[in-house]
Structure 1
Amino acid sequence: MYELKTKETDHSVIEFIENVDSPKKREDAYELLDIFTETTGYDAKMWGPSIIGFGAYHYKYESGHEGDAPLVGFSPRKAKISLYFAVGDDTNREYLLKDFGKHTTGKACVYINKVADIDIEVLKALINQSIAFLKRKYPNKNKG
């Protein structure tokens, strides 16, 4: 059976951020921690070794694969900062990203170099729409 690698852990978010090599990335991680905490109302938790997640939901795919994941999150990685938002047809993500600032996208991630490159109000809108989408898609499976 498939074992999820990214699970919620009891590791310290602050300790993780303090161990980020780059002082600037560490500063950005603390700023993102404040923005995500204030916007979501959830406490930050470590998911796996390097993702700071907020809230949680339980998903189950038609294939039968299921698990838990954070509603939103971020990770201050060496190359770029990864932001994790829900992806779906009705998330409005692409529309919001037009005014987000300097970024690149992957399938489920949005990558930024630094917080100064982005519009914080658009970040808050992305966080809120992601949570609203996941709560609609997985009702009664939110773990907060």
Structure 2
Amino acid sequence: MAIKTQPTDASVPEFLDSASPARRVDEGHQIDEIMRAETGVEGVMWGPSIVGYGTYRYVSPSKTSRTQGDWPKVGFSPRKSAISFYGLKDLPDGAALLPELGSYTEGAGCVYVKRLDQIDLTVLRRLIRIAFSRGDDPLP
């Protein structure tokens, strides 16, 4: 089975400008600036709501459903209830550093942050660099 979310030609700045509540607009642009600085690449819209940086080949470790496809090395989405970060905890070094981030919660593959001012941006930058360092090899 292939991953359904794919890169699009949609505008990252326009997407970020449409975020709500209003503070998500500013937070989204700030995160985009940090992501571009730490990865050296421009963000690309993945589906209607994820801004991704870089690409790697993902293969699910599940024995029952072998999902595979291209996925951003690191990304985020400024959602209404929280900012969703993708890729920050996938690698061992990122998972080990994550407790230093500040106030966050975790989902299956995401890290959720309620407010950008509740996390350590220096740690976020390190987590982004770790996530972006992943090669094109599938996760173990």
| TM-score bracket, shorter-length normalisation | 0.7 to 0.9
Select which of 68, 78, 81 maps to 2:80: 78
TM, length-normalised to structure 2: 0.86
Q: The residue matched to 1:98 in structure 2 has which SS?
A: helix
**Structure 1: segments with no counterpart, 5+ residues:** 140-144
Task: Give aligned pairs, total.
Answer: 135
Q: The residue matched to 1:43 in structure 2 has which SS?
A: coil
Higher alpha-carbon deviation: 18-27 or 52-61: 52-61
The list of structure 1 runs, each at least 4 consecutive aligned residues, that deviate by more than 4 angstroms after superposition, is 61-64
Residue 142 of structure 1 corresponds to none
The aligned amino acid for 1:105 is: E
RMSD after superposition: 2.0
Percent identical: 36
CA distance in 1, matches of 2:23, 2:67: 38
Contact (CA 8 Å) 2:12, 2:45: kept in 1 or not? yes
CA distance in 2, matches of 1:91, 1:38: 23
Residue 27 of structure 2 corresponds to 28
Q: The residue matched to 1:78 in structure 2 has which SS?
A: coil
1:65 Cα deviation from its structure 2 partner: 3.7
Residue 109 of structure 1 corresponds to 110
In the TM superposition, what whole-angstrom CA distance separates every residue of 1:74-125 from its partner, at most 9, and x where no partner exists?
A: 000111000111544x522332122111111112111001111111110011
1:126 Cα deviation from its structure 2 partner: 0.8
**Structure 2: segments with no counterpart, 5+ residues:** none
CA distance in 2, matches of 1:45, 1:15: 12
CA distance in 2, matches of 1:122, 1:76: 19
